[in-house]
Each structure stands twice: as structure tokens, then as C-alpha cells.
Structure 1
């Protein structure tokens, strides 16, 4: 615990250097909380400090939750990894695939496994070929529609995305993209519920995650952190625009509940989810997921050929593999951070970071709210401190 005090120094320095407005970190190990730290402001203009009940936009830290949701349906026999996506979302039958700027028919159908492993051919857009160009146009449309009179629903999203060609043949490459959002739509189709309702009943209520949802109700809005961007002169400015079809204000239940980026949560709430995974699916006396299911969720799933693609596309994650929407440490000596084999987790666009390490009975949640961050120097330093303290 004494060594963990260095975490506070990292947070304080990040705030002083205006790398973040505020941040928090929660460490759980050996069945108990080992340390909680925070620094700075959740909302500079309103003078609100960053606290452990501060509600943050998780962005891509939504993905491990979506993975758990999919695996819950697998363990109940309602879904199979090898199922073709078109079985649940017929719009995805007969997909087209890009070869540069040429478009032709895909050699095989996309499966649930492809979506879980980001080997689907779906992306987050770009300009390098027709697939990426059309994806960018779709995301621009979704952002423009947020908060308007005709927002794009989950069904609209699926229909429009299915008309966009894939960036590569399913299963042959790795690309981080909209796969988890499509999985959210699959969960809706299989369960007959909205995605948020299924997560609430299956995970959030049993885990006591009272502050986790796809929007923030009026009575909790004073706890919602502001979202900041770093300006060219090194200052922090409020960033008040939607991203990936996710509303900035998150005032009401959205018609598109993004399985890849839509959840909001707190350090304590998200730690409950991590503790469940850490305990082989158990939380207190409740078995949320079966132990074997969690073992599969935290296992590397991509092939050796796709691993080479992952290494090329994600050089900051050297030493890691991928599976079930999570990074999984397979070669600790190759990683830029201290860690142990089998540790898994993910991060988010606003710098949020989580990991679960069964070998060391450890879970870590780090929260901040600055755009275009992902894996930050702060989360790397904090991870090093925590592992050195073990």
C-alpha cells in the first residue's frame, strides 16, 4: 500500500501539466480494496472535484461489457460463436468486400466469432479505400443526427452499415472498429429487449452497478464529468460534440445504444464488473457468468496469421494478443508495461483503462475524460506502479 502512493503523484502531475482536468484510480487485490486515488476536477467551470462517484463516459470500455453479454447468451445456448451474423441480422447476408477501391462479393459470411475478435472487416472509418470512406460517411451521419428530430436507431445503424463494403475478408485480418456495436444489435435480436435493458437485468442490477447506463438521469447529472480536449497551446477546452454516434450530453435514453462506446459508469461500478470477471463470474453469492465462460472470455482467440496483423496495427500493445473484445497479455517480456501473463482488459477514447489479472487476484480501474487518448502514459505509469507493488 505504501508503494501505491506513487499513483497519487502520477495523478497530481497529470493535472498540474494539464494532461487531464481530473482523474481517479481504484485498485482491488486479494479480495479487498488496496487503494483509491483521485486528483483535479471533474468539471472546471462548475468547480466540481473528481471523486469516486463521478460519472464518466466509458467509450470503448463498453466493449468488455458487450463481450460478457454475448458470452452470457453463448453459455445459455442462445447463440453460437460460429453462427453467421445474417442468422440474426439478415441485412448482413451477401456482404461485399473491398480490394482497394474495387468492390466484390465476400468469400465467406461474417460470424459472431469474427465480431468478438475484430476480424469482421468492419472499421471506424478512414480514407484509404471505399470501405473506410463509406464507414466515415455513416459515422458523420450518425453524429449529425444525434439530438435531432430523426436520430439514427440501432436498426437504422445495422441497415446502413450492412450496405458498406468490408475492409477485408472476414477472419483474415484484424481491424479495430464497429464490431461491438453490431454485437449489441445481435443481443437485442436474440433477447427481444433493448440492449440497455438486457445489460441492466443480466449484469447491472445483480452487480449493484446503480450508476451504469447509456444515459445519465436528471437526479445524477451533477456527478457527470465534463469532457475535455487538449488545445494547440496546451490548454484544456470543453469538447461538447457527439462521437461514434454517442451523445455528448447523454441526457436521455438513446435510440442507438452503442455496444462499442455508449456506457457511462463510475470507478466503483466498473470495479464491480471487473471483480465479477476476476472471481470467475461470481459476485458475492451470485454466479453472474459460469467460470468456464469467463475462462473463454479471457483467452486469446485470434490465429497466428491474424496475430501478425494485430501486431502491425496495434504496435503500442506489443506482447498482447486479442479475443472477446479484450487485449490479453501473452508475452510479458515484450510489453511496454509491467504485467503478468493472462492479464486482460481494455481502454477508452477518453483515456479510461481497466485490467483484470486472475494470476495476481488483481483488478484496476483508471478514469479520466480527455478526447483522443486511449492507452495513455498515465495509465501505463499507474500499471507499472501497481505491478511493482504486488
Structure 2
């Protein structure tokens, strides 16, 4: 087995400092496992250990999977990156937008929202917030997402109708903002395929990649990765278990009416790294091509270009954004990894990385709120690449 002493030390450190109760890690090279590690406790009350088959809430790591599923439709010529959103949902034809010179005013939108804008988070959709009308109204919409009305949960049809009534924060294509763009992509999937988003993802991703523990609800409560809330009490870190944590989830243990394309995935480390392996070449375990090399390349390269300066991510300035993933375009700032490395993280701390140059994939599953994402991805990424470069059994391509 390969030596990952820095990785082990770093995971032990973040657990011992009570940022998390434990972690599950898998590292592959060339789609073969080179290191697996489970450390710490899953349920502090029962003193049950972290295990490889625990099912975690992936949250925003869902986004990458949603994009990959959608891009199969682009490959099949069923949708174009240049298609307007209004082609599938006409209510988005004549959108309103905040006046950039006076954010208290709403004006007619000049640009249509294109599919490419959704994939790159340049659509003008936002998440929670209270800084302007768009954020406040989006917060109100999302606060009702998990509430039943007339004994029914919201579905994508009703969600899209309400979303279309909220002004965009900026003209599509002119800025970058983390928000609901990839949930809208999930809605577009339903409109194109006439299938539920969940069924389509099962068909295109879960089944061919044999991700049998993955779904959009907690299918096995006995294997739940418990969620803990981190806080400081008298300047000492404290972790308190949150039972049935359901942020952005309509029903924890039932198929939701609207599984969030940006946040709804439940999965294991073993399953998710199968998905990451797939992103190396677009092929399943049998060598079947599920995603073309061209579209995969587009997904994992800098798509922001001139507006890259507006990409606000919490690691460093060396990154841009592709389709649903951060993409490393330079390798000058701490932590050093590799140019073209890409991936994303989740609300509860979990993080994923794909390094095409060295054919490395990594999935680290964590489960606390807040997720301490910057700490994890800076210090853990540094430890990971130290071990990768120090390990004689792993062929890491050095710069010429």
C-alpha cells in the first residue's frame, strides 16, 4: 500500500481539533484504488466508527454530476450551449434585471439566459442573501422549497414559474455568481427528456457507473453519515449532532418531488470516486464512452475568460470556472496542486479532485456544518500533493 503519511496526519489533526468527528477518504490512480482511509467516529453517542459504506450528503458536489448528466444531451445534439432557456421554459423570455447603476431599480433584461450561462454560473441567478431584491426574493423562494403547500411539495414546473418572476442580479454573461443555475439545468433536463431529473441521472450516471448507493434521498438510514454542527463554546470547539438534517431537502427518506440539481445527492466515497474516475475520460468501467472527449474538455477548462476576475471562490487566485467545476489555470499560489486539476466541494466539508495530468482522483467525505471548506482544501490539498510527489510508487509528472 502506498504511503500517505501527510494525508493521514492532516485528517487526524482536523478531527482531533474537533472540526469534524471523522472522515472517509479514497484516492485512485488510473481508476485503481491506491489509498483508502477511514478515521474517527460517525456517531459520538453510539461511538460508532466511520466506515467506507456510509452515505453522506454531498450537497454542492451534486453540481458536477448534474452537469455531466446534462452534457450527454449536448453530445446527443438534443440541446445546444447556445440555446436560450426560454426555448424550454418560455416564462424566462422577457426577464427583468437589477439596474447596475441603481440596485433598487428593476429594468428590462437585454440578454437572454443561454444554456452556457447556466453551466458557467453567469446567468444572474443567485442563492440566499439580503443585499438586494434578487437575493431577498430568492431567499423567500428557497425557504418555501421544503414546505408542503396543499399537501404537495414544489416540483420543477412550479419552481421555475416562481423563479422566472424574480429579477436577475445582473445581465446574463456579464458576471459570475454562485447560485441556482445548475438546479435550472436539472429542470431543463426534465423538459428535454420527459423524464424526472432523478430517473435521468440514474439512467445516464448511476447505472452505467454502478453507483448503487447513490440517490437523491437517504435510502438506508442505518448507513447515514451523521451531521454535526460545529461551534465555539467558551473558545473551545464543540460538535453537536443534528438529527435528520434536511437543509435543501424536501423529504430525507423519500424520493423528493424536486431533487435539487445543485445540492440533492446522497452518496458514498466509493460511489463518488467512480464518478470522478469517469471524468478522466468519459468512459464507464467497461470502457463504454458516455461523454465525448470534446465536451469533457469543454467542461473542465476556463470558461470565464475576461470575467474570470469576478470568480469568487475561497481557495486562491489560480482558479477559474468551467461547467460546474473549479479549474486550475495557474499553479503559483498555496496550496500547489497541478494545472488543469478540477473539482468541487460541498456544504458539509466534503471535497473532490480530479487531476487529469497524473490521472489521480480523490474523494474526501466529511459531515459537519459549517464545512470549513477553505481549511480542508488548502491544508489537505497541500498534504495530498506532498504525499503524491514523495511516493515512489506513484508516477507524478513533473514540470519540464
TM-score by length of 1: 0.93
Corresponding residue number in structure 2 for 1:72: 72
Corresponding residue number in structure 2 for 1:323: 322
Q: For residue 93 of structure 1, report the CA deviation from its aligned partner.
A: 1.5
SS in 2 for 1:78: coil
Distance 1:290 1:125 in 2: 35
Q: For residue 374 of structure 1, report the CA deviation from its aligned partner.
A: 6.0
Worse-superposed segment, 43-52 or 31-40: 43-52
**Structure 1 unaligned regions, length at least 5:** none
In proportion to residue count, which structure has more helix? Answer: 1
Corresponding residue number in structure 2 for 1:340: 338
SS in 2 for 1:33: strand
Q: For residue 5 of structure 1, report the CA deviation from its aligned partner.
A: 2.4
Worse-superposed segment, 12-21 or 199-208: 12-21
Q: For residue 97 of structure 1, report the CA deviation from its aligned partner.
A: 0.4
Q: 2:367 aligns with which of 363, 366, 369?
A: 369
Corresponding residue number in structure 2 for 1:134: 137
Distance 1:283 1:221 in 2: 28
Distance 1:156 1:46 in 2: 42
Task: Note the alpha carbon deviations across 1:11-33, whole angstroms, 9 max, x for none.
Answer: 22222221101111111114421
Q: For residue 199 of structure 1, report the CA deviation from its aligned partner.
A: 0.6
SS in 2 for 1:211: coil
Distance 2:183 2:6 in 1: 37
Corresponding residue number in structure 2 for 1:117: 120
In 2 relative to 1, CA 303–379 (structure 1 residues): closer, same or farther, beyond 3 Å? Answer: closer
Task: Note the alpha carbon deviations across 1:263-299, whole angstroms, 9 max, x for none.
Answer: 0100110000011111343433222212222112111
Worse-superposed segment, 282-291 or 153-162: 282-291
* 2:3 is equivalent to residue 22 of structure 1: no
Distance 1:207 1:7 in 2: 27
| 1:347 and 1:374 in contact (8 A); partners too | no
Distance 2:83 2:316 in 1: 29
In 2 relative to 1, CA 264–315 (structure 1 residues): closer, same or farther, beyond 3 Å? Answer: closer
SS in 2 for 1:51: coil
Distance 1:74 1:29 in 2: 28
Distance 1:297 1:125 in 2: 26
Worse-superposed segment, 342-351 or 279-288: 279-288
TM-score by length of 2: 0.91
Distance 1:89 1:43 in 2: 44
Distance 1:187 1:153 in 2: 13
SS in 2 for 1:64: helix
Worse-superposed segment, 368-377 or 31-40: 368-377
Distance 2:337 2:269 in 1: 21
Distance 2:172 2:194 in 1: 27
* 2:60 is equivalent to residue 60 of structure 1: yes
Corresponding residue number in structure 1 for 2:32: 32
Corresponding residue number in structure 1 for 2:377: 379
In 2 relative to 1, CA 374–300 (structure 1 residues): closer, same or farther, beyond 3 Å? Answer: farther
Task: Note the alpha carbon deviations across 1:233-258, whole angstroms, 9 max, x for none.
Answer: 12111234432x324x6200000111
Corresponding residue number in structure 2 for 1:269: 271
In 2 relative to 1, CA 59–13 (structure 1 residues): closer, same or farther, beyond 3 Å? Answer: same
Worse-superposed segment, 192-201 or 148-157: 148-157
Q: For residue 77 of structure 1, report the CA deviation from its aligned partner.
A: 0.3
Corresponding residue number in structure 1 for 2:205: 203
Distance 1:266 1:374 in 2: 20
* 2:86 is equivalent to residue 82 of structure 1: no
Q: For residue 384 of structure 1, report the CA deviation from its aligned partner.
A: 1.6
RMSD: 1.7
Corresponding residue number in structure 1 for 2:394: none
Task: Note the alpha carbon deviations across 1:142-181, whole angstroms, 9 max, x for none.
Answer: 24449x9332222221111111110000000000001010
Distance 1:257 1:278 in 2: 26
Distance 2:189 2:316 in 1: 29
Q: For residue 342 of structure 1, report the CA deviation from its aligned partner.
A: 0.6
Count residues with an aligned counterpart. 381
Distance 2:203 2:282 in 1: 19
In 2 relative to 1, CA 315–53 (structure 1 residues): closer, same or farther, beyond 3 Å? Answer: closer
| 2:315 and 2:378 in contact (8 A); partners too | no
